[in-house]
Structure 1
Amino acid sequence: MKVLISGAGIAGLTLAYWLRRHGHEPVVVERAPHGRLGGYGVDFFGTGYDVAARMDILDRLTPYRLPVDTVAFVDASGRPGARMTEALLDRIIKGPHLPLMHTTLEGALLDAVGDDVEIRFGESIAAVRDTGTAVEIDFTGGGTQRFDLLVGADGIHSRTRELVFGPEPGFAHYLGCRLASYPVADRYDWGRVRAHYTEPGRQVVVYPTGEPGELVALFLFRSSHSGNVPRAERPELLRSRFGGMGWLTPSLLADAPDGESIFMDTMTQIVMPSWHRGRVALVGDACGCMTMVSAQGVSMAMAGAYLLAEALESERDHERAFARYQERMHGEVTRRQRNALRFTRTLVPASRAGLVAQNLVSRVIMRETFAPVLRSQFGAGSILPART
């Protein structure tokens, strides 16, 4: 089958790899000129790690493991309170764990796909017509082509979903927080720590990228506004929301790049009763975004891509394959969305009292005794059946 995949992110590239392995002809379109490489870290374990192992790309990833041994929750002068050590994290996850920059994983997936798959950067879908026997696609760059299937792997703001299933507000559940990130120079002799500093309604996180002399600054803040923020307005929005904040915040804001280089988005989940319609299906954040606080977005994107390709290979009939894929994934995604929703409510406390409570709970729960509780929150195990 000839399958058009919209989106060259984690889900799209993983799907392209497995479809090609099963003998299909995937074509990938990506509206960005060189891919959607995000400058932020991801937690890579469980199902995602399992899929990567089956793709034989772990050797490509392991040398780029983020140099973080400890997660520390610090006060305004940088003194750590609660800590999550690597030993505790190992007990929580109970399996391989590979923290990575998003760029590293996408680069490895691009290498794995290689020249076997056609990828058209700077191209996107303008219109979709499902004829019953094929999908006709009009492209923004001009021209029309027919494909057997269309898969939207184009993220939380999926154009495919909008064209086939309806506008984003019908599926988006905004969690009341916004996030932003960008790289900064390490002027602090930082070390192997990911540090979190929180004040009511806002949080700053700093960690090393693995590149010499470079850190990532991550900003989380409560906001009633769920719309897009134009890139040119992002530096000023961060300065207004984080002005007067303690710890390293003034220096991090002073080092902010121009708006074009600042990643910013809302903490929004995508909830849909059905992930497929006719000859069109969705995968990854396009149909089941859980937000970054789930620590499972990458794993579930790779899991969905793997299981969708497997279903198309086993069933042959696309309608049965789409149904099988959703049946296998939907419950797993829903459970992780619920966990992430609960966690988000306490992630950035709105009041001083809430912050005090968060600090107390963090000091208690960051112990080996509570590893099973934390494991149930993040659902680290692989959902794939063992290979025979």
Structure 2
Amino acid sequence: MKILISGGGIAGLTLAHWLHHWGHIAVVAERAPHGRLGGYGIDFFGTGYDVAAHMGITDRLAAHQLPTDSVCYVDGAGRVTARLERQLLEKVIRGPYLALMHTTLEEALAEAVRDKVEIRYGQHIAAIEQRPSGVGITFAEGRQESFDLLIGADGVHSATRELAFGPEERFARHLGYTMACYPLHDTYGLGPRRVHYSEPGRQTILYPTGMPGELIALFLYRTADHTIPPCAERRAALRHTFTGMGWLTPQLLDAAPEDGLFMDSLTQITMPSWHTGRIALTGDACAAMTLTSAQGASMAMDGGYLLVQALHQHADHQAAFHTYETQLRPAVQQRQQRARTFARSLVPATRTGLATQSAVTRLVLRNAFSGLLRRGYGDATSILTRT
């Protein structure tokens, strides 16, 4: 079959790899002109790691993992109040674990499909027409083309989902936070650590990217307004929200770029069905979990793998879509629920809440509480079946 994948991120590129592997013609349409740039750090483990190993890219990923040996929590003077050592984190996860930049994984996946799959950068879908024998696609520049199937893998704000299923508001579940991040020069001497500093309703995080002299500054704050300002206004909005915050926050805000600042709400996507006719969704387009799950990238790879596996097992695409969704949905719902629970206490809104969180954190970041910590990271057990 000739299958169009809308979106060239983790889910879309994983899907493209396995479609090619099983003899299909995959075409990827990616809105960004030269692939996706920027990004943030991710925890990569569990079922997604298993897919990456099956693809033969884990050695490449391991060679580019983030140089962090601990996660530190500090007070306004920069004094460490609690620390999560990497050895304990690996014990909690009970399996292979990599700390990666989001783009490191995307670049490895793009390399895996290079010269095998057509990727059309700077192209996106403007209209869809479902037909008995295929899907008619009109691209934004006016070009028209037919495909056997269309798979939307274009993220939490999926345009494919909006065209085929309806507006985002029907499916979005906002968790009450907005995040922003950007790279900056390392002039702070933090070493191989990820550092968290919190005040009521606000949190600043700083960690190395693996590129010499580069850090990522990440900001997270509570808000009932999930509207994201235009790119040109984001720097000012972030400075306004974090004015008066301690630790290194003022210096980090001064270093914020005028453009290229990533900002988005923490939004889950929940849908009654992930497919309609010859169109299906995968990854964040249908099952976004947010960074509070720590498993979004992993599950995006799992979804791509399971969808192609189902297409390989069933001659009828409807049966394949049903099998894929039946296999993956319980794991997604479990992780989404766990992420919602965790989000409620992620950044406490009051000083009393922060003090309680700090005391609990100091208590549980030790080997004796590895089982309790495991609940926060979720079940890393693979849900794959290989063919």
Which residue of structure 1 aligns with residue 122 of structure 2? 122
Q: Deviations over 1:292-339 (max 9, x none)?
A: 111000000000000001000011210010000000110101110111
SS of 1:27's partner is strand
Aligned match of 2:278: 279
In structure 1, C-alpha distance between the alignment counterparts of 2:173 and 2:210, rounded to whole Å: 34
Residues 232-243 of structure 1 correspond to what in structure 2 (within 5 A)? 232-243=232-243
3-state secondary structure, aligned to 2:72: strand
1:1-388 aligned within 5 A: 1-259=1-259, 261-385=260-384
Q: Distance in 2 between matches of 1:132 and 1:227?
A: 39
Distance in 2, matches of 1:117 and 1:78, equals 48
CA apart distance, 1:387: 5.1
The structural deviation recorded for 1:90 is 1.2
What's the secondary structure of 2:8's corresponding residue? coil
Bigger mean CA deviation after superposition, 165-174 or 355-364: 355-364
Contact 2:38/2:182 (<8 A) preserved: no
Deviation for aligned residue 1:71: 0.4
Q: Which amino acid aligns with 2:346?
A: L
Mapped to 2, the partners of 1:155 and 1:383 lie a distance apart of 23
SS across alignment from 2:142: coil
Aligned pair count?
A: 387
SS at match of 1:99: strand
| In 1, Cα distance between equivalents of 2:83 and 2:332 | 28
Q: Deviations over 1:16-38 (max 9, x none)?
A: 00000000001000111012233
- For 1:188 and 1:140, the matched residues in 2 are separated by 45
1:357 Cα offset (Å): 1.2
- Tell me which amino acid in the other structure corresponds to 2:273: S
> Partner of 1:115: helix, strand, or coil?
coil
Q: Helix, strand or coil: the match of 2:345?
A: helix
- Aligned equivalents of 1:170, 1:73: Cα separation in 2: 37
Give the SS at the match of 2:207: strand
What is the distance in 1 between the residues matched to 2:251 and 2:82?
24
Residue 12 of structure 1 deviates from its aligned partner by: 0.2
Q: TM-score, normalised by structure 2?
A: 0.98
Measure the CA separation in 2 of the matches of 1:184 and 1:342: 32
Report the 3-state secondary structure (helix = DSSP H, G, I; strand = E; otherwise coil) of the residue aligned with 1:224.
Answer: coil
C-alpha distance in structure 1 between counterparts of 2:386 and 2:29, whole Å: 31
- SS at 2:189's partner residue? coil
How far residue 140 of structure 1 moved from its aligned partner, in angstroms, is 0.2
CA distance in 2, matches of 1:385, 1:283: 16
Counterpart residue identity of residue 334, structure 1? Q
Q: How many angstroms does 1:91 deviate by?
A: 1.0
Whether contact under 8 Å (1:9, 1:36) holds in the other structure is yes
Identity %: 56
Give the unaligned 5+ runs of structure 2: none
Q: Deviations over 1:237-268 (max 9, x none)?
A: 11101111000001100111112x10100000
Q: TM-score, normalised by structure 1?
A: 0.98
Structure 2 contact 348–354 (Cα < 8 Å) conserved? yes
8 Å CA contact 2:4, 2:26 repeated in 1: yes
Q: Is the 1:50–1:382 Cα contact (8 Å) retained in structure 2? A: no
Q: Is the 8 A contact 1:32 1:121 kept in 2?
A: yes
Measured against aligned partners, the alpha-carbon deviations of 1:197-236 in whole angstroms (never above 9, x if no partner) come to 0000100000001111110000001112112310000000
**Deviation at residue 48 of structure 1 after TM alignment:** 1.1
Task: State the 1:380 CA deviation.
Answer: 4.2
- 8 Å CA contact 1:73–1:196 kept in 2: the answer is yes
Deviation at 1:386, TM superposition (A): 6.1
Cα contact 1:45–1:380 (8 A) shared by 2 = no
Query: What amino acid is aligned across from residue 275 of structure 1 in structure 2?
Result: W
Matched AA of 1:56: G
Give me the whole-angstrom Cα distance separating, in 2, the residues matched to 1:387 and 1:130. 31
Cα offsets for 1:177-207 (capped at 9, x unmatched): 0000001111012211101000001000000
The amino acid across from 1:217 in the alignment is A
Displacement of 1:383: 2.5
Q: In the aligned structure 1, how far is the partner of 2:57 from the partner of 2:352?
A: 46
Other structure's SS at 1:346 match: coil
Distance 1:8 1:84 in 2: 34
How far is 1:81 from its partner? Answer: 1.1
* 1:327 to 1:146, Cα distance in 2 relative to 1, 3 A: same
Distance across 1 between alignment mates of 2:41 and 2:114? 24
- Gaps of at least 5 residues in structure 1 are none
